[in-house]
Every structure is written in structure tokens, then in C-alpha cells.
Amino acid sequence: MPPRSDPLRNPIGDWLDRGGPARLVLACLVLALIYLATGRGGLYLATYQENATLVWPPTGLALAALLLGGLRLWPGIFLGVLCLSAFVGSPLSLSLGFALGNTLEAVVGAFLLRRLTSFNPSFARLTDVLYFVSLGGLVCTAISASVAVLTLTSLGELAGHRVPFTWLSWWLGDAGGALVFAPLLLVGVQGQPRFSRLLRRAELWSVLALLAVSSAFSFLGLLDESWAQLLLAFLPFPLCVWAGIRLGPRGAIAASFVVMVVAILGTARGFGPFAQLDIHRSVLLLWAYLISLGMVTMILAAAIAERETAEALSLRTVEERRSLELNVERGRRLEALGLLAGGVAHDFNNLLTVVLGNAEILAMELPGSAHYARNISDAAHKAADLCRQLLTYAGRGLSRTQPISLPALLSELERLLKVALPEAVRLDLQLADVPLVEGDSSQLSQLLINLLLNAGEAIGPAGGHVRIRAEALALPPEACEGTWVAGELADGPWVRLDVSDDGPGLAADVRGRIFDPFFSTKGPGRGLGMTTVLGIVKSHRGAITVDSQVGAGTTFSVWLPAATTVPGVPSRSVPGAAAPRGGTILLADDEELVRDVVSKHLQSAGWTVLTACDGEEALQVFAAHREAIEVALLDVRMPGRTGVEVLSELRAQRPALPVILATGFDAGQLEGVTGVPILSKPFERSELFGVLAEVLARAGDAGQSARRSPDAAAPQAGPVHRPPRGPTRPAGPISRGIPSAL
């Protein structure tokens, strides 16, 4: 069965849907009055008895009314037929038969078109025309003709030899009424193109004028019967074809309607090329003329409209594909910049770990140099802040992720945000009860401030509104025009944060570059504010969309995943913390200077340090000292096997082994890592000892028992011990290459 149609909404259906029974009764009464008026006019066209006409306009009215307003309007048709029959003096029994037939005709036709086909009353597709002509114009009208002839025959009003012609005349009259009047009513309510645009076209009025003149000369007796009269009768065909091509379904149906009305009126009055024949031929030829003209016009108009729709869809598909390609290219460019920034920041964090560690060692071993060591440490911390900013641009900021309430965060920032905006700009907060999001409160605060400053600068001194609202959604945004970082996002749940302004909007070329580093439309400034926003969104595994048109303002929508679990356990700095003395620790890091300075810190606290320069060596060291090793400190990013892969192997062999991960990237970017403390480089001695104490405390009695086991062949504290293995990594300068991403 074809899908049930979902026709365009129309004023009649909407008006009835918004009302109650009283409105429905009123609609039925109005329909009955209109049916009576059109039926009275239709009887003027009677050719055989008083009830059989060349064309019966009420059939088109009834079918269109039920298609637009629904089957609930059938009482109006039934009442209209009864009133019309009473008006012409038909007996009650005859009137009831006619009312039943005409009502069933419209109800069955509307039901078949609305429920069993994909008919759309706008006639914008070829199938719409074929469905309407076959079901609404030819099949259903046979019901009224059959019921009427049966009623006339059963009541003795119709002789047997007249039944075939009466049935044919009745059926042709109803079919003509449906095919002539219903399409005009349907497209008048919900067709294309718009009336306002169509009526402004001089082409429409020129075609209608030519059709009216040619039809009048042919069918209204303005010419004597001759070949010219017959020629003018077919002149409307090319004009209607032109209307179908140029003016769409509305214009084409209006043009053919003008010709049909003139032909019907003229033939009924005895004028025109069809009126000179006997009644049988006259009816058949007129009907064939009307159907041919209407069918050709509607089919051509629908085919043209369908082709234009397909072309528009194809063009839109091409534009969307181009947009996606631009987004992919833009994403690759930003990803390349992110990898560069992230790689540089990662290497610098390794270097800064060495600088901070050696500064602390210098301060401990040479008390007189404490002032200089503190200066070195302060400079290293400032450099670490710059590295964090670089990682933020790269979307790998060192996030301390936790469940965050956006309404609470916005409430805390409200005063600061209002101060940051120009005086003429008003801030409206629409805070809904949305789920918590997983993120870094400081970075999300920076994101909001950057978006607010951007919106305030866009509005300028003229004043306006900046609105912030949040809502919960089940699905992430689609990757389309104006969407960034929306490649592989989970289905949900999500929280969307909208920042809208009343500014002048963004041109297409500006929208495409708004997140590019160092791009700015304001002159002064570094042009990194929106790049920072994009980096924060990337580090939170979210997406951001931009909706803006010139003169219509701008809306930035930030999509953040709702909080479910927090990946990893970021380390906490514990000033002054001391690591437990005695024991063996496995230290794996691909930077020799990092291994050296971390080893010195641990050895100074009484730890025996077993080092490895990559993941494979770390597994070899662990295999040689499986029972002695009490803690493993692994760098995440190492050649060969990464720290996360080594962690998986160690857990498979000793599930209870305490493990610490160290990384120069974002602690929240480690996929599939849970319950593992993470040291963010660069770290100080106190942070190292604090997280070490934390992980040993978690190990509890099992860890203490492992340290006191008499079977553990633990090396004594002393210089760094490296077990026999394959070729070692030669000492040398620190690698300055840009490593690949995690």
C-alpha cells in the first residue's frame, strides 16, 4: 500500500483544527450554501432532463472541500444536495438518492486520494495529476452516476432505453466538474508559485487575455461557423502549454480554467464547433476537449515543477557536498595546526619538567642558590602556562575534568560577564535545568568570556541584546555548513549552550575563517580568541555550530557531552608531601633528561628506580623484576608501545599493581583509562610525591605486603639500575622533532 499522504497544511484545515464542534457545524452550513449556489448555476448547463448537465461544478467543489478540510465535512455536501433538489422541486425520495450518490462520490474520492496514495493537492508532481485524474476524476464519479440512474429507474422516472445515455451523461458531467473546478480550488489554497509573485508577472495576464479572446471568438458565437472557428478552438493548447512551462501549476491550471469555462458556457448556449452536432456527439466532444486541454496542461506543469524540484535538490546536494568538503579541508588544516602546536607544547613540557626538577635539586643541594632556583622555577611555570595555552589551541588542553553545572557556572560568571560587555549591551540569561557536563570549569569560563566579548564587540555602541541559554538534547549536531568538530560524536545525551547577539551578522567568507588562528575583523588583537574557543570545544570532545546571516545577528551553539564518567583521575598537587621511603619503582619515559631528574627525586626519597626508555623495555624490566616492582610510572607517549598499552599489559599480569601515567597532553584525552592517577607535565617534586603517596594509599595492605615479601629480590637504594636487555638508547641531545599525536 502506498504511504499515507501528508498534504501541505492549508488555511481551511488549520481553521477547522483550531475550533470545536460549533466551527465544524458552521463550515458544513457554509459548504451547503456554496453547493446550492454552484449547483443552481450548474443546472443552467443541463442538456438532458434537469439533473444531467454538460459539467457539474458542485462535484469539483465537494471533492476539493473534503481534500482540504477532511471527511468531517460530508454533512455539508449531503445537506447541499437536499437543498438543491428541493429548490428544483424534486421528490424527497429522489432527493435522498441524489444526496447519497453525490456524497459517496466525494467521500470515496477524498478517502482514496488522502489515505491510499501520496497525493499532494499542490499538483507539483506528475503522480499527483495521475492520481487525481484516475481516482478523483474518473473512478469515483461513476458512483454518483450509478446511484442516480438506479434511483431514477427504481422510482419510474427513467425509461430503460435511456439508461445508458443518462448514466454516461451524468458520469461525464461529474467527471468534468471534478477535473475542471477541483484543481483550481486546490491550487488556489496551497499551490505554487505564490499568488503575490504570480500576479505581478505581466506574462500571466498576457496569456490569460489571449486565451479569453481566442476562446470567446471560438465558443461565444462571435464568428460564423467556419474553419476559423474550429482553428481558434485549438489555439489555447499552445498557450496553455506555454503557461505550464513558464507559470507553474497555479498559472497553468488558471489558464486552462479560463478556456474551459468559456467552452462550457458557449456550448451550453448552442455556440461553438461542438454545439452544431447532435447531443451525444456534442457532450462527448466537449468532454474530450476539456479533458485533453486540462490533462495536457496539468501534466506538463507538474512535470516541469518536478524537474525544477529535482534540479533544486541536486543543486542543494552539490552545495552541501561542497560545504562538507570545505569543512573537512578546514578541519584538516586546523588539525595540522593543532598537531604542530600540540607537539611543540608536549616537547616543551618535557623540557620544563627537566628545568623544574633540576631547579629544585639545585635549591636542595646548594642552599645559597635558592633565590636563583626560585627564579628559574617561576620562569618555567610561566612557560608552562604558555604551553597550556598552546595545547588549548590544539584542542589538547590540560583539563581537570569534573561534572559541571552550566547554570551554576553562568550564575557565578554573570557579574563578570556583564562588566565585560559594553554598557549599551544587555545580557539575558535563560538558565534551564540541564544535565551536568563533563569539563574543566576554568576552560569553560574562558570559552564563555571569549564568546561574550566577541558578541559585545559585534553589537558595538549602538546597543542590543546578548542571550545565553542552555538545553538538553539527545543527538549531536549534524556535520553540515557552519559546524566544526562534529565528525564522530556519540548519540547523547548532550547539552547545547547558545550565545546569540543582535549584531550585524557574519558574511559567508568571514564565517568560513572565524576560527582560523590570527584571523580578526577588528584590527588590533592577536585573533586567537575564537581559536581558543574551538580548542576548548575540541578538548571537551564537543562541537560548535555557527548560524549567522548579514543583518540577522549571530548564534554560536556549543555542544558538550553530558557527564557520565570522568576519564582518569587527574593528579593533585600536594605541597610538602613526602613519598614513602624504600621500595622499587619502574620509571618509563623516552626523554633521558626527564628520566634522570625524576630518578634523582625518587632516589633522594629512598626509592630504587628501574628505568626504561620505551614501552618494550618497560615490559622487559617488569618481567625481570615482577615481584620487586611496587609502582610503575609510565609516560603516555613513547616509541613503540605507548604508556596506555604498557598499562594494559601490566594489569593483565598484576591487576593490583599501582600505576601512574604522565603526559604532556590533556589528562582528559586518554581514551579507556579509568581509575589511574595522571601526572600532567611539567610537575614538581611535591606533585610527584603527592600522587605517589596517593597511589600507594590506594594499594593499601596489598602494596605494603608486597614491599615486605621476603621473596622479593628488590635491589638496594642507590644509583639507577638498568637490567640487561637489547641495544640501549644512546645518550644525546633531546629530540626536537614534532612527534605524532597520541
pLDDT per residue as tens digits for the range 481-492: 567 665 567 677
Instruction: Residue count of the chain, please give it.
Output: 742
> Is the per-residue pLDDT at 376 higher than 80?
yes
Mean pLDDT for the chain overall: 76
| Cross-strand bridge partners of residue 611 | 587
Model pTM score: 0.48
pLDDT of residue 109: 92
pLDDT per residue as tens digits for the range 158-183: 888 888 888 888 888 888 888 888 88
Does 395 or 720 have the greater pLDDT score?
Answer: 395
> Is the per-residue pLDDT at 713 higher than 50?
no
Helical (H) or strand (E) element with 672 = none
Q: Which of 309, 481, 613 is nearest to 621 (CA)?
A: 613
pLDDT of residue 723: 36
Per-residue cell: 561: 557531552
At position 532, the amino acid (one-letter code) is T
pLDDT of residue 666: 53
- pLDDT category of residue 674 using cuts at 50, 70 and 90: low
Query: Is the Cβ–Cβ distance between 357 and 598 less than 8 Å?
Result: yes
- pLDDT category of residue 702 using cuts at 50, 70 and 90: very low
- pLDDT category of residue 333 using cuts at 50, 70 and 90: low
> Is the per-residue pLDDT at 722 higher than 70?
no
pLDDT of residue 35: 92
Three-state SS for 231-255 is HHHHCHHHHHHHHHHHCHHHHHHHH
% of the chain residues with pLDDT over 70: 75
Distance (Å, whole) CA 666 – CA 245? 62
- pLDDT category of residue 208 using cuts at 50, 70 and 90: confident
pLDDT of residue 298: 81
Which of 99-103, 406-410, 585-589 has the least mean pLDDT? 406-410
pLDDT of residue 550: 82
pLDDT per residue as tens digits for the range 410-424: 887 777 777 767 777
pLDDT of residue 301: 80
> Is the per-residue pLDDT at 50 higher than 80?
no
- pLDDT category of residue 727 using cuts at 50, 70 and 90: very low
pLDDT per residue as tens digits for the range 251-266: 888 888 888 888 888 8
Which of 246-260, 537-551, 560-574, 588-602 has the least mean pLDDT? 560-574
Query: Is the Cβ–Cβ distance between 104 and 144 less than 8 Å?
Result: yes
The residue-averaged pLDDT of 3-22 equals: 66
Does 67 or 514 have the greater pLDDT score?
Answer: 67
Does 726 or 132 have the greater pLDDT score?
Answer: 132
- pLDDT category of residue 715 using cuts at 50, 70 and 90: very low
Per-residue cell: 231: 482553428
Does 665 or 434 have the greater pLDDT score?
Answer: 434
- pLDDT category of residue 437 using cuts at 50, 70 and 90: confident
Q: Which of 669, 702, 114, 190 is nearest to 443 (CA)?
A: 669
| Ramachandran bin of 686, using left for φ above 0, alpha for ψ from -120 to 50, beta for the remaining angles | alpha
pLDDT per residue as tens digits for the range 627-636: 889 899 998 8
The residue-averaged pLDDT of 721-726 equals: 34
> Is the per-residue pLDDT at 54 higher than 80?
no
> Is the per-residue pLDDT at 541 higher than 60?
yes
Query: Is the Cβ–Cβ distance between 657 and 675 less than 8 Å?
Result: no
- Integer angstrom CA distances of residue 630 from 9, 547, 603, 692, 724: 73, 55, 15, 11, 20
Which of 175-189, 400-414, 505-519 has the least mean pLDDT? 505-519
Which of 82-91, 101-110, 348-357, 510-519 has the least mean pLDDT? 510-519
Helical (H) or strand (E) element with 525 = none
% of the chain residues with pLDDT over 90: 10
- pLDDT category of residue 407 using cuts at 50, 70 and 90: confident
Per-residue cell: 220: 461565444
> Is the per-residue pLDDT at 647 higher than 80?
yes
* Residue at grid coordinates 433538489: 85
Q: Which of 617, 667, 610 is nearest to 638 (CA)?
A: 617
The residue-averaged pLDDT of 22-35 equals: 91
Does 74 or 325 have the greater pLDDT score?
Answer: 74
pLDDT per residue as tens digits for the range 292-329: 888 788 887 888 878 877 877 888 778 767 766 766 66
